[in-house]
Amino acid sequence: MDFKEGEVLYVNKPFGWTSFKVVGRVRGKISKAFHIKKIKVGHAGTLDPLATGVMILCTGKATKRIESFQYQTKEYVATLKLGATTPSFDMEHEEDATYPTAHITRELIDEVIPRFTGEIWQVPPVYSAVKIDGIRAYDYARKGQEIALKPKLLVIDEIEVLDFSMPVLKIRVVCSKGTYIRALARDIGAALQSGAYLTALERTRVGDKRLEDCWQVDDLLEFLDKEAQENAVG
């Protein structure tokens, strides 16, 4: 493998890890194992710490391909809790409000979900990396400062209900770059005249690469060590 010339690595991001941590671990291992002082490693699409799934890493000259990977279609499996909200629209924060759910039926869900396919306008979460005047939105949010984020036009190709058992709704989402599944959960909750937030999120596909094509991080790090040893012997 030639990491300076450029390699593309597919990993399954672990729960609780930041995307930055995944990049750092892989960059550190390549640098140490192959004795490369400076090596570029970047990722093609952030996953929140509480999310798991397909993450594309590019090294060396392959980092020039990151933008093309970012524009590929992504697929997620999202688990929502209905009847409550959190400030971050996921489990990073405690519930801040609860709402009625007695009126929510499978028929209502089947009526509401299709409204979110096609071109839609979505307001990003306040706890996000969107920049306002050069400052990340989450920095304002953590200081308790109110901010107004502009809606973005994006495309959701498919939403499929995988399971529904109150208060849990599990959906599969195929969407474009820039889609916040946390914000989609918020909007579905509002459309149901209730509330909703993410309790789990897994990115199952980017382009034609699926979870089964991905390395577990520990396995990848072990593989890189073996590659380096074989190269040294050779």
Choose, from 2, 48, 139, 225, the residue flagged as catalytic.
48
Task: Pull the structure tokens for residue 17.
Answer: 């890890």
Residue position matching structure tokens 């929510």: 104
Taking the CA atoms of 116, 211, 207 and 123 in sequence, report the sign of the dihedral they define. Answer: positive
Residue 9's nearest CA partner among 44, 51, 50 is: 44
User: What are the residues whose beta carbons fall under 8 Å from the beta carbon of 171, sequence distance 6 or more?
Assistant: 77, 78, 80, 113, 159, 160, 161, 162
Burial of residue 148 (CB within 10 Å: 0-12, 13-18, 19+) is exposed
Task: Pull the structure tokens for residue 10.
Answer: 């597919």
Q: Is 105 left (phi over 0), alpha (psi -120 to 50) or beta?
A: beta
Q: Count the Cβ atoms, other than its own, within 10 Å of residue 214.
A: 21
Backbone angles phi, psi at 129, to 5 degrees: -90, 10
Respond yes or no: is residue 48 known to be catalytic. Answer: yes
Name the residues annotated as catalytic: 48
